[in-house]
Amino acid sequence: MRLRHLINKRGVTMWCRRVLFSIVAIAFACPAVVAAEPSASAPSVPRIARKDGYFGIHFDLHPNKSDKDLGRDISENNIREFLQRVRPDFVQYDCVGVPGYSGYPTKIGWPAPGIVQDSLAVWRRLTREQGVALLIHYCVLWNQAAVEHHADWAAVNAQGQPEKEVLSIFSPFAEQLLIPQLKEAATLYDLDGAWMDADAWIARLDYSHAALTEWKRQTGQDTAPKSREEPRWAEWKMFQRREFEKYLSRYVEAIHAHSPKFQIGCNWMYSLLSGVWPVGSPVDYLSGDYPQHNSTDEARAEARYLASNRKPWDLLAWGFNKHGLKCATQLKQEAAATIMQGGAWGIYYTPTRAGRISAQITATAGEVADFCRARQSVSFRSTTVPQVALLQSAETYWDEADNTAFGRAACREVTKGALYALLESHYSVDILSEHQILPRVQEFPVIVIPDAYKLTDDFRQSLLRYVDNGGSLVLLGAKCARLFEPALGVQFVGAPNQGGKLTVRDGQSVSWTDGWQKVVLSGAKAIGQRSVTAEDQSAGEAAATVVAHGQGRIAAVYGPVALKYVQERPAAIRELVGAVMREAFPQPVITVDAAAHVDLAVRRTCDGRLSVHFLNLGIVQRGETEFPTMDPYPVEPPFSVRLRTPQKPTSVRWEPQSQPIEWSWSDGILTATVPNLQIHGVLLVE
């Protein structure tokens, strides 16, 4: 309208006006012009670096060759309204999705043919104006267009067949496509970084000519194994993982050299999902988008591992599931499961194909953002008060993971089952791998191993020395117990193939058919009883034991309780795990009388204040078939807390309301009453 007014005012002829309007129309139909022009109307406001962001929003559309309306409905008013209501620290917007087409007018890759208006250019103007970091979402190895145009770039499977959609890290695609395109986008849009998707978690065990040539150069082997039945299988898998990290480092370093402020995260790299690999590349932050279903439980696990990497990290929730947009209550619960471990958090949404953000997304994201911001000062960058270290064994994971370079190992589910049983017994838990535990082993009063069947001799000896010096070791399962058999005060009888019925106090019981190991006590104390048949009157066997070892204790459970718990959550297993933990760890820093569905985490705020986070899981969406109503959300009634504090506190408050609560202190024990717990709250002790 402003352009039409100027043209009329200057008395330009109708013919000239038609020419000028044709030029304007071409300019808007050619987004490269829009992208390249700096914004004169939007002054730049200082932005928070991506690694320092606390709350963010992720949008992706996966542009494809069938798109006709990309950016058609992009509106500065729509975006400004969203940014002002939600107030994110960062926005991640689509650039390249799985189809391999770019959502902006690239000269290096393959622009989607349906770009009507350059969405990135508009988002850059508005995020610059509002002081919000702008990153791109970029699918890397899963790139259909790149494989279609460059068949020789494809990864090759064990049968010698090229992948139809997945690239090889040994091909030149990083130097010829990935790095040049990231540099192009960083320059065109003054980008703050990129969230690299479909990279670590999709990387294949690659049998391409280039991969086999490098394998031979390093090992002298003419061929590579194709299954775990062949020699050097473990070595072949580790070769692929090391080469992936070299490739990741190569492109991160290249982009850092080009644009030092450009920050990169690789989705799910260095997480539980991608195999607890030690951080060895110069990525700026760690991140992962946990699935749309089982979201809260996934966040409970991944957050506790990512927090142990001691690097900036976040998790992204899907803002929708197959039934539609998630309600604000569910997203608040998912957010709390992450921020209570000190991380950042964000929501993944999809705008319309034409780029418009719906009013419902703005309203829901705004409400959830308010919830997170209210807790930022007591949550963000908090650190653990070490209590229970739960091991995710890398040795076991790498042995099990076969399908892709970083695999999907079943032991991750076992770890999750152990975690949930411990949390629902009200322990404060961190998840660590071998490389994380060893430097900090003396910090944790108890270490729990959830049925890992493979550990190095050096690591086992380190744990025994830890116990000799006063630590406690808890082994949840016959597989890991067998690795420590000489120290358990029992003798193993036969293979772990017995079944029957587990019965603990209060009549709680659960039955299953196999996996229990029979033991004969030779110095250990029995904990709990397992019937060898389903009848209660049958002769019993020890379900678990505990024994003194040096100055410490070793406890073991002789059945697959962690896997059973992640599958079904029987109360009897939680009772057994709780009984074992009380024997091995009689003086935790905190005890509570809350219901089992209340999680806790003992932390210190970024400025050093003691805090205890509580998460109410009275209703949780689990699985893909049951979607419980989250509103109204059940309020957990007041419950008491006993917290060990050597000195008498000066104040005890309930956050985020800064509400004074009832408390007393005597002989190093703070006793307090937590008020009604809705979703999440923090007991702050000063």
In this predicted structure, what is the pLDDT of residue 485? 97
User: Domain 386-585 adopts which CATH fold?
Assistant: Rossmann fold (3.40.50)
Taking the C-alpha atoms of residue 392 and residue 400, their distance in angstroms, rounded to an integer, is 13
In this predicted structure, what is the pLDDT of residue 537? 54
Helix axes 561-568, 411-423, angle to 10 degrees: 80
The average pLDDT across 447-470 equals 98
In this predicted structure, what is the pLDDT of residue 408? 83
| Poorest-pLDDT segment among 213-217, 281-285, 530-534 | 530-534
In this predicted structure, what is the pLDDT of residue 34? 38
In this predicted structure, what is the pLDDT of residue 407? 81
In this predicted structure, what is the pLDDT of residue 180? 98
Local confidence band at 6 (pLDDT 50, 70, 90 cut-offs): very low
In this predicted structure, what is the pLDDT of residue 509? 78
Of 309, 239, 234, the C-alpha closest to 278 is 309
Domain 591-685, classified CATH 2.30.30, yes or no? no
Domain residues of the chain, as ranges? 38-374, 386-585, 591-685
Q: Kindly tell me if the per-residue pLDDT of 539 is higher than 80.
A: no
Question: Residue 541, Cβ neighbours under 10 Å: how many?
Answer: 21
Sequence letter at residue 652: V
Local confidence band at 595 (pLDDT 50, 70, 90 cut-offs): very high
Q: Kindly tell me if the per-residue pLDDT of 35 is higher than 70.
A: no
| Poorest-pLDDT segment among 35-49, 103-117, 171-185 | 35-49
Kindly report, residue by residue over 623-632, the tens digit of the pLDDT. 888 889 999 9
Q: Kindly tell me if the per-residue pLDDT of 557 is higher than 70.
A: yes
Contact 559, 530 (CB under 8 A): yes
Q: Kindly tell me if the per-residue pLDDT of 183 is higher than 90.
A: yes
Taking the C-alpha atoms of residue 339 and residue 323, their distance in angstroms, rounded to an integer, is 26
Kindly report, residue by residue over 341-379, the tens digit of the pLDDT. 999 999 999 999 999 999 999 999 999 999 999 999 999
Q: Kindly tell me if the per-residue pLDDT of 64 is higher than 60.
A: yes
Of 333, 317, 313, the C-alpha closest to 265 is 313
Q: Using the 8-state DSSP alphabet, how is residue 260 labeled?
A: T
Q: Kindly tell me if the per-residue pLDDT of 425 is higher than 60.
A: yes
Element (H, E) at 252: helix 233-258
Of 429, 426, 364, 437, the C-alpha closest to 394 is 437
| Poorest-pLDDT segment among 23-32, 161-170, 241-250, 441-450 | 23-32
Q: Kindly tell me if the per-residue pLDDT of 400 is higher than 50.
A: yes
pTM score: 0.92
CATH architecture of 38-374: Alpha-Beta Barrel (3.20)
Q: Kindly tell me if the per-residue pLDDT of 25 is higher than 80.
A: no
In this predicted structure, what is the pLDDT of residue 182? 98
Place of tokens 């309600």: 327
